[in-house]
Chain A
Amino acid sequence: MAYIGFSTGALAFGKFREALRLLHETTMSAVEISALRLTELPILIESLPTLKLDRFRYVSVHAPSRFSEDDEDGVIELLQRAPCGWPIVVHPDTIHEPEKWDGFGSQLAIENMDMRKSDGRRVDELGRWFDRLPKARLCFDLAHAHQFDRTMTEAFRILSEYGDRICQLHISELDSTGHHFPLSSGSIQAFSEVASLIPLDSSVIIESLNPFRGKSDRKQRAWIEREAERASEALSREEVVEVGLASLGPITLSPSPVRA
């Protein structure tokens, strides 16, 4: 992986400054500044010049997860004020008029969706979005893919078809109602089964919900480091894929078709 870090929304929902403060004294090298609620976006954009982000090698912005057609132009105008090197992560089901987003080009990152949504979950549904927005990249959410298909077969299809579009990953545990949690060993095992298909230059954004929110900084930062280690474990690019019981030994894979 290129860089690893957290979504500000996962660490301190609605408080990106607090999340950035926590991250500053960790080894994290990536951050996604999220404005999941529409009301957060203008505040975030106004604050950008004042945020200390020098230590991060990768920064992205997550667009609001819901807005009306009337608000779409305003959202786009605000997002255009983000530095052009920062990917803009957007849920496809929030987009009302795709052609309005075409101007972002490869800065736009379409995120695959979970099973509660009716679009953007499957390889063919994503394909329709990439037809409309041909330069857009992919924010591949492993938890969404896992929730949609526990066997990770849809993840395999998406990675086989669109792995070369990936600019960043989302990683966390997700329950069937769409709530994020810290990574479990089941998720780590599932993600590791497709890790060899993920391009090496993908940055990793952890979306596991901070279970120590409100506790001491020391405790929260220790958890941040541990969770990042677990995410790295899930994405370790072993050149083997186990089929059958774990004790049976490795099976050599053919080279990844999307290796960067």
Chain B
Amino acid sequence: MSSGPLASQRGSPLDIVQSELGCNWKNIEDARQKTEITLKSLSTIIGGHPGADTSVGPDTSVVVHGSLARLECTQGSDLDWTLLVDGIADASVQQRFLDIKNSLSDTNFDELGLKKPGTEGTFGALAFSQPIMHFIGGEEDSNSNTTRRVLLLLEAVPIGERHGAFERVRNGILQRYLDEDRGLLREGHIAKNKRWVPLFLLNDFARYWRTMAVDFAYKQFDRGNKGYALRSIKLGTSRKLLFASGLLACFWCDPAISRNEKQTPNKQSLIDSLGKFLSRTPLERLALFFLVHMKTSESESLRTTATSLFGAYDAFLGLLNNQDKRLHLEQLKPADEENDPAFVDARKIRRTFRLAVQEMFLGEDSPLRQHSIEKGVF
């Protein structure tokens, strides 16, 4: 029915890359299986409340974000969800929202292996399509508005039966980025080659990545370093992965990168291919890149980079899924980090991942190198 991450699991590019490289990324696979089970349970919980099929019609979608949307659920993952509304002004959506909230409050989160959602914040809330789509930049584009918009593109999966609002809003957001990109699909004055990379979109992805990095420092200040060590590791792995996969999505619009012969230079064709690419998980997006280019590259470097990148990420998920280590890192004080074996190990994983991402985008043999320098940096 829909094109969410779950729809793309069979013949996943990640599985193929893993097989071609002769690797075994067990933690990634375990997390994926756990997420699929959890999402099914959540669909039943959320879809099973009274009036679920009749109350609002096709104007809302329940959307989950975070590790659930990345198919990377581990012990103690958060449940980040929103009820996305895209329709005629209708106060009854509040009742649907409360029904879902009540269903969730009756849920045994320990059984699901999830942390109980908080009562306030960006998630566990109603989200309306109009500000998300209309306020890109400017005073009205608050931190949570930017977060909701970018996560709808990079890290979101609709659950339950109603996916229409999610798909409409996502397409609408992409349309905004493309419509207002003045030089997109036009030839340059000097180079004379068409610009396929959507820069407005890329800049907002980059802004969101820097916002996450700045908010990391803000939380450190605001929370008195509580949870610093784990957040620091996540910033350099799962958060960085999100940005890398967004940057890649922008470069993927160029048929020379995606090797998509059907890509035509018009808006709907770009929205179509971006939508399909973004419906994959961040790890799958990266795997698709390696899959397409490893076949034709004579260099071994792509294979080495892929092995290193996914291997490090697999180790990161293994770390998160170890309750003792996770709890230890959550409680670790900054002053104790340097001599803490668990943190030192985690930092090694983060470093390996960072170097692999750098090699993927900026390596001498990387097909992404030119775009990364010209569009991603200056």
CA distance A254 to B261 in the complex (A): 12
Alpha-carbon distance A208/B266, docked complex (angstroms) = 28
Given contacts A150-B172, A151-B171, contact A243 B181 (CB under 8 A): yes
Q: Kindly provide the distance from the CB of B362 to the nearest chain A CB, expressed in whole angstroms.
A: 29
Quick one: given A150-B168, A151-B171, A151-B172, are A245 and B182 in contact (CB under 8 Å)? Answer: yes
- The reply on A248 being an interface residue by CB < 8 A is yes
- Asked if A151 and B175 make an inter-chain contact with CB atoms under 8 angstroms apart, the answer reads yes
- Shortest CB distance A228–B (Å): 26
Q: Mark A232-254, 1 if CB is under 8 A from B, else 0.
A: 00000000010111001101011
Asked if B179 contacts A153 (CB within 8 A), the reply is: no
> Which residues A85-113 have CB closer than 8 A to chain B?
none
Complex CA–CA separation, A151 to B167 (angstroms): 11
Name B174's closest neighbour in chain A (CB-CB).
Answer: A151
**Which chain B residues lie closer than 8 Å to A115 at the CB level?**
58, 164
* Cα–Cα, bound, A177→B88 (Å): 9
| Given known A-B contacts A241-B266, A243-B267, A153 and B275 have beta carbons under 8 A apart | yes
Q: Evaluate contact between B264 and A251: CB separation under 8 angstroms.
A: no
Assembly CA distance A251 to B183 (angstroms): 11
Q: Does A1 sit within 8 A of B, measured CB to CB? A: no
Q: What's the dominant secondary structure at chain A's contact region?
A: loop
Q: Point out the residue from A149, A150, A193, A248 that lies within 8 Å of B267, measured CB to CB.
A: A193
Q: Which residues of B contact A244 (CB under 8 A)?
A: 178-186
Contact with B along A123-156 (1 / 0, CB 8 A): 0000000000000000000000000111111011
- 6 tightest A-B contacts by CB? A156-B268, A241-B266, A151-B175, A153-B271, A151-B171, A243-B267
In the bound assembly, the distance between CA atoms of A156 and B264 in angstroms comes to 11
Contacts of A152 in B (CB 8 A): 268
Enumerate chain A residues within 8 angstroms of B188, measured Cβ to Cβ. none
Q: In the complex, what residues of A have CB within 8 A of residue B178's CB? A: 243-244
Specify which of A149, A193, A248 is in contact with B186 (CB 8 Å cutoff). A248
A157 to B271, CA, bound (A): 10
- Given the complex of chains A and B, what is the CA–CA distance between A251 and B194 in angstroms? 10
Please judge, given known A-B contacts A176-B88, A241-B266, A243-B184, whether A116 and B58 are in contact too, CB under 8 Å: yes
